[in-house]
Chain A
Amino acid sequence: MSSLPHLLALDIGWGSTLAIKTIIVLAIIPAGALILGYVFLLKVMSHMQSRLGPMDPGGFHGWFQLIGDGIKFLQKEDVMPAEADRRVFAIAPAVIVISTFLVFAVIPVGPDLVVKHLDVGVFYALAVSSLSVIGVLMAGWASANKFALLGALRAAAQLIAYELPLLLAVVGVVIQAGTTSLNGIVLSQQNGAIFGWDGIGNPFILTQFVGFALFLVASQAELTQTPFDMPVAETELVAGYMVEYTGFRFLFFFIGEFGTAFAFAALAATLFLGGYSVPGVYGDWANILGPFVLFAKLMIIAFLMFWVRFTYPRLREDQLQAVAWKFLIPIGLLNILVTGVFKVAF
């Protein structure tokens, strides 16, 4: 099935393989969250705001800060509001992290390095990423707090509204690649050619630039990041639907948020920048280089996402909905139309 066990000269059954892959992905989620959080939220944002960010923890530019925060959160008291719905309150963060994990399950980091090859990879990824809406609503309702409720309702409306531009952006890529399998999309970018020159393959960002912009904007909204962070508007709702969460559960939310950012950046890199592939590198070398290449590409995209996050003010809820329905969706549809025409004509 996969050549990785051959690489490792092991022969283990599919169950163990699946288990190992699951554990690796479960480890990647918080690790990815940590890396994104530290690099962008703490360091890049600080430097953009003419300050330094953490410098002490761990010695070198405070790299240990978030890990230390994580450890701190783990040992905090588990506080629940007296009127909260206990079971729902406890499960809500887990729902969000689970949806993140499910997205990771299809992102290929190498030709064989994926938890599960799915022919409907893209469709599946977008579908499970919208499970987080349920988690948000659960959190907001179970908190027994008006601010949380307001935040959760805003979030639900926003997340559902921005599913569509996300999907439409991706459809253009799918048309161009001819497949919904993520691996297939990567391969078609790797093997493609720009007007006959195949030096860098055919990253879809060149032709699907509209789709790329759309995807970035929509994923910014899916992650409830500024300019779409009404649900967690800090100066209004003080963390919105997360306001009653402390300690370990808050850590889950944090990991969920940044893990999802990691996942979406990886998706964007896969769909538009060629994912793990480097043109001309196949087979085992691709398996070794793949993770690093994908990591580099997704960091670039994450940089764009977080840069916008620090700089722009936030849109009001009705303006946000107006942007989605009246602006992004028509553009998405137009993009699909043009892509389809070009695909058939050329």
Chain B
Amino acid sequence: MSATNPPRAPEFDIDHGAMRHLADAQVNVELDTGDMILNIGPQHPATHGTLRVVVRLDGERVLSADPVIGYMHRGYEKLTEFRTYPQVTTLINRIDWLSSFANEVPFIDAAEQLMAIEAPPRAKYIRTILTELSRIATFVLFLGEMGLQVGALTPPFYGFRDREYVLNLIEAVTGGRFHPNFNRIGGLKDDLPWGWIADCRSTMGTVLDSCSMFEDLVLGNEIFEARTRSIGIIPPDIGAGYGVSGSNLRASGVDWDLRRDGRPYLVYPELDFRVWTHADGDSFSRYWVRLQETRESALMVLQMLDRIPSGPIMAKVPRIIKVPEGEVWVETENPLGQMGYYVISKGATGPFRVKIRSASFSNVSILPWLLRGVYVPDVITILGSLYFILGDIDR
């Protein structure tokens, strides 16, 4: 396999390689009798983006499942080698686009560690608040759209509506709803606007109310329970072996949260919060854990709003950012799970190698194991409960 000659630039006539790949879409279909191969995706309402799961069915039971990913592969790790550090910040915003602020935090933390710069306390508080707001925004949407996965038409609208309140807050601070691009090495781009703290307080009240509403509407619904209990049980040791992290692993009873147990980052060591776990490990418990974590995040934000210090929001940073030689591994508890960056720097204005460890990649890698023997509707329920984002899987 020649690796040193770069492939020729694509032409616009028929690319026979691509045509062969399209034929690949049949994916190992021998002439089977009795079994049916079903493509769930890549265009499908239930897969959050262009994920394709090729399942082999016997009636309505899944015999084997093979997720095919890469439809959204943008080559982030390659791109980071051609970008300066601030440019990389803009890039990695788009890995997990639902909680985009949270993607920047570990990378900025890594760069700041390598440069031996510490962001001022106010900046850290605001960063933590925005991270928790991203977590709330992501989870509130999950609470709604999980109802949609099992067939309830109304909860997703409430989920989107309540997410709007939080996005308004994020937009008021950063100027962007989806891609704030607000972190800078050494601090933040700007300070909070006037009156934001009061707005944030009242929005957290709304969030807590809507959590109770989802508890009634979705969690308390007997049909929802019938559809999600005992579906997609992830045993904790197998989950950890696959790298499943975040709420998914906590729903299997593993009491591990990087905000509390990992290396201290942002202002989490100063906060008083509870880590929620559930013993069952099924789809219901994943929903339940995320609901509790949404509440917990809202309470954390309220705590932080009470204690946010005044001061500068940016440390002294040279105009042209050159990060000294070194390497560092930073992992954080992102809404979707454990996200980490292994940044290797050679003293240039841009990184030498960035290994992006994204949560959904590992969460989805358990699907071939998890989907054996389940019904087709349960496949949808499981996909919904694992809560992955395609950008996070495909990078």
Chain A residues proximal to chain B, CB less than 8 Å: 45, 48-51, 146-147, 150, 226-227, 229-230, 233-236, 238, 309-319
Contacts and interface: CB of A to CB of B under 8 A. Distances in A.
Nearest to A318: B375
B321 interface: no
Contacts of B221: 312-313
Q: Which of A150, A235, A318, A319 neighbours the largest number of chain B CB atoms within 10 Å of its CB?
A: A235
Given A146-B36, A316-B377, A310 B223 contact: no
A49 B157 contact: yes
Given A312-B152, A316-B226, 18 more contacts: A49-B153, A147-B38, A227-B151, A229-B151, A234-B45, A235-B46, A235-B148, A235-B151, A310-B154, A312-B221, A313-B151, A313-B152, A313-B221, A313-B227, A314-B152, A316-B378, A317-B377, A319-B227
Nearest to A45: B153
Interface string B365-384: 00000000001111010000
B45 A48 contact: no
Nearest to A147: B38
A75 to B, nearest CB: 26
Interface string B12-50: 000000000000000000000000101000001110000
B152 A226 contact: yes
A317 B60 CA distance: 9
A123 to B, nearest CB: 32
Interface residues of B, number: 29
A313 B377 contact: no
Contacts of A314: 150-152, 223, 227, 377
Nearest to B161: A50
B46 A236 contact: yes
Contacts of B158: 49-50
A318 B226 CA distance: 11
Contacts of A312: 151-152, 221, 223
A226 B154 CA distance: 12
A233 B36 contact: no
Contacts of A236: 46, 376-377, 380
Interface string B250-294: 000000000000000000000000000000000000000000000
B44 A313 contact: no
A227 B226 CA distance: 12
B93 interface: no
B121 interface: no
B201 to A, nearest CB: 23
A255 B158 CA distance: 29
B154 A319 contact: no
A14 B232 CA distance: 63
Interface string B111-152: 000000000000000000000000000000000000111111
Nearest to B153: A310
Given A48-B154, A317-B375, A146 B38 contact: yes
B395 to A, nearest CB: 26
A312 B161 CA distance: 19
Contacts of B380: 233, 235-236
B178 interface: no
Contacts of B152: 226, 310-314
B153 A233 contact: no
B36 to A, nearest CB: 6
B224 interface: yes
Contacts of A235: 45-46, 148-149, 151, 380
B227 A238 contact: no
A314 B149 CA distance: 9
30 contacts: A45-B153, A45-B154, A48-B154, A49-B158, A50-B157, A50-B161, A150-B38, A226-B153, A235-B45, A235-B148, A235-B149, A235-B151, A236-B376, A236-B377, A309-B153, A310-B152, A311-B154, A311-B217, A312-B152, A313-B147, A313-B218, A313-B221, A313-B223, A313-B227, A314-B151, A315-B223, A315-B227, A316-B226, A318-B375, A319-B226
Contacts of A315: 223, 226-227
B45 A238 contact: yes
Interface string B148-187: 1111111001100100000000000000000000000000
Contacts of B218: 313
B377 A233 contact: yes
Contacts of B161: 50
Contacts of B227: 313-316, 319
Contacts of B38: 146-147, 150
Contacts of B223: 227, 312-315
A309 B152 CA distance: 8
User: Which 7 residue pairs of A and B lie closest in terms of their CB atoms, listed nearest first?
Assistant: A314-B151, A49-B157, A313-B150, A313-B152, A313-B151, A235-B46, A316-B377
